[in-house]
Each structure stands twice: as structure tokens, then as C-alpha cells.
Amino acid sequence: MRVLGIDCGGQYTGYGVVEMHPSGRLVTLVCGAIKLSPREALPRRLARIFGELGAIIAEHRPDEVAIEDVFYALNVKSALKLGQVRGVAMLAAAAAGLEVAEYSPLTIKLAVVGYGRAEKQQVQHMVTRLLELAKPPEPMDASDALAIAICHLHTAGTLDRQRTAARLAAD
């Protein structure tokens, strides 16, 4: 299975495509971040995110997309902008016919680090180890996107095994 993880943000939107081989080995196909200029009008920034995510989807052909779920934000204006970026990311996936899974920050950290309150550097360190990367992914948004993809791969694998076990028990 191949998953595109997206870490939505107002200045940087991180992305990472991770593939899980039948052996269980995780491989990074691409990662990075779409850097947005705060001087650029919001509609242009959103169009850029949509276009670049669409190009990544077309090139790497993920099976599914995973993004971070909405979390509590003190700044209402920032939360609204984040919601717009998330909507555009979902639209890019839906336009390509892909399913979108959403995970809370706590769930992502639990899946990758084993501790739901882990710091960003701990997540980056575990992503580097799990994907056997020579150096930590930069910027941190790329690392977070890879963590989201890893979380989905582990969660999807567990759900698939549970469905298989339930089918076998029913037969």
C-alpha cells in the first residue's frame, strides 16, 4: 500500500509518500513541503497547494491519503486558514478519486513514537529511524507528513487484519 501523508499549514504544507512492502518494510518515495508566502493572496496560496498536491498524486499514485485532523487552536483566524488548507488538500485527493483518512495529533504520535504527547523532535527522530533515512526529513512539516502516512499504514494494516480475522471466525 502507498499513502500520501499531508501536514496542512498556513506557511508550509508538508507532504510525504510512504509505501509499505509485503515484508512490512516502509519506504519513502518523496517528501518535502510547499512553502507559501504570506504576502501572496490566500486564493493563490490555496490554488498552489491544490496544484502541487495534484502533481504529487499524479506522479506517485498513492492508494490513499491521510491528513492530520483539526485540533484546538487559540487563534480563530489561524484555525480558519488551516481549515481552508485542509479542505483544499481533501479536494486534491477527492479529485483524484482517493479516500482520505484523518488522524488526531495524539493518534499520530502514539503510532510513530508510542507516546501521544511526544515532542516534534521525537517524532522526527522516529520517522528517520522507521524509514531508515540517512538524515532527518526537513523541514519539520515534511517529517510530520511522513509520520501521518506511517500512522495510516499501521492503522490500515491493523484494521485489515481484524477484518480478515472476523471473516475467518464467521466462516
Catalogue the active-site residues: 7, 68, 141
Question: Cβ neighbours of residue 3 under 8 Å, at least 6 residues apart?
Answer: 17, 18, 19, 20, 62, 63, 64, 65, 66, 149, 152, 153, 156
Short-list 100, 116, 114, 115, CA closest to 149: 100
| Rounded Cα gap, residues 124 and 111, in angstroms | 13
Which residues are registered as beta bridge partners of 30?
Answer: 17
- Burial (CB < 10 A; 0-12, 13-18, 19+), residue 80, is exposed
